[in-house]
Amino acid sequence: MAERMVGLPAPKFEMEAYMPNGEFSKVSLDDYKGKWLVLFFYPLDFTFVCPTEITALSQAYDQFKALDCEIVGASTDSKFSHKAWVNMPVDQGGLGHIHFPLGQDITHEVSRNYGVLIEEAGVALRGLFIIDPEGVLKYSVVNHNDIGRSVEETLRVLQALQTGGLCPANWKPGQKTL
């Protein structure tokens, strides 16, 4: 499982993706060397909980960027599905513009390597991973697909990891480490 990977080099990945500029391109772990990376998986495009998470992460993108962190989302949908969803009007269930790539994992290889693939359904669980600038997996959380993740908590954990210190329970940015 993904939790056993924490502290080890993150699994390499390369995916075709729908990019914020409206083009298709490849994204890989190597593209983010020297930066922090939030890699998150979601089950499917055109669903109910997923757009709330994706748009919340996109709205907080500048906060992540200020922490030298990039974001990549991924599902087992195709890049064409991602494009259609982004371009669909928000009032009709679309995403609207987002600030990070959405990777296609139609082979299920990346979801499987990160331990979030539901094999029998061919979709990913809600997995979120924080990878440090050296490519080491520092944080892993996997939710049931009915539960959305907290952008605020993701930012808090990222900032805690960036202190390089020991952070007690309920630590918040600006507080002392142990």
**What whole-number distance in Å separates Cα of residue 66 and Cα of residue 151?**
15
**What whole-number distance in Å separates Cα of residue 64 and Cα of residue 71?**
8
**Set 17, 27, 29, 50: catalytic member:** 50
SS3 letters for the chain? CHHHHCCCECCCCEEEEECCCCCEEEEEHHHHCCCEEEEEECCCCCCCCHHHHHHHHHHCHHHHHHCCEEEEEEECCCHHHHHHHHHCCHHHCCCCCCCCCEEECCCCHHHHHCCCEECCCCEECEEEEEECCCCEEEEEEEECCCCCCCHHHHHHHHHHHHHCCCCCCCCCCCCCCC
Q: Identify whether 167 is a catalytic site residue.
A: no
The residues annotated with a catalytic role in the active site are 50
